[in-house]
Structure 1
Amino acid sequence: MAAAGSSCSLVLSLYKTMLRESQKFSSYSYRTFALRRIREAFQENKNETNPEMIQELIEKAKSTTEIIRRQVLIGHLYTAQKLIIEGQ
C-alpha cells in the first residue's frame, strides 16, 4: 500500500511539473497544445491499476518532461511576435 501512495504522489508531482514546464512555451500554439495533451493523457490513464503499466507511464512522463524542457529552451532562442489572442 505504501508503494501505491508514493506512486500516486510521484504521478501528481510529474503532472504538476509537466504543466508548469509547458506554461514556459513562448508560442501560444505549442503552449495550449502541450497543456491540452498533458491533461488528456493523464485523464486517459487515471484508472490504470497495473503496476508495470503505471511504471511505464511514469517513465514516459519523465521522458516527455525532458522533451518539453528542451523544446522550451529552443523556443526561447527563436522568439517571434505574440499573437493577437495572447494580448499585450
Structure 2
Amino acid sequence: MAAASRAQVLRLYRALLRESQRFGGYNYRTYAIRRIRDAFRENKNITDSEKIEELVNKAKANLEIIHRQVCLFFLF
C-alpha cells in the first residue's frame, strides 16, 4: 500500500482536532487536543513509509474512538 500523502495526513489531523472539539467536558476536550498535537509533532520527521502507514491507521482508529465517545456523551 502506498504511503499516505501529506494532504491525507493533514486532513486526518484536522478531522481529529475537529472531532475532539465536540467533547462536552473541558478536561476531556483539552486532553484529547493536547494528545493529538503532541503525537503529530512527535512523529512529524518520520520518513519510513511503513511506519507512516501504521501511524495513519492508528490515527484513523483513534478518530473512530473519539467519534463514538462524543456520540455516547450526547446520549446521556
TM-score by length of 1: 0.81
Question: RMSD in angstroms over aligned alpha carbons?
Answer: 1.3
- Report Cα offsets for 1:60-81 as digits up to 9, x if no partner: 0100000000000111122xxx
Partner of 2:64: 66
Distance in 2 between residues matched to 1:71 and 1:26, nearest whole Å: 10
Quote how far apart the aligned CAs of 1:7 are. 1.1
Distance in 2 between residues matched to 1:26 and 1:77, nearest whole Å: 12
The answer to whether the 8 A contact 1:27-1:75 is kept is no
Gaps of 5+ in 1: 79-88
* Percent pairwise identity: 57
Partner of 1:36: 34
Distance in 1 between residues matched to 2:35 and 2:26, nearest whole Å: 14
Distance in 2 between residues matched to 1:8 and 1:38, nearest whole Å: 16
Equivalent residues in 2 for 1:1-88 (5 A)? 7-78=5-76
TM-score by length of 2: 0.93
Highest RCO, 1 vs 2 (Cα 8 Å, sep ≥ 6): 2
In the TM superposition, structure 1's runs of 4+ consecutive aligned residues that sit over 4 Å from their partners are none
Structure 1 counterpart of 2:35, one-letter code? R
Select the structure of larger CA radius of gyration.
Answer: 1
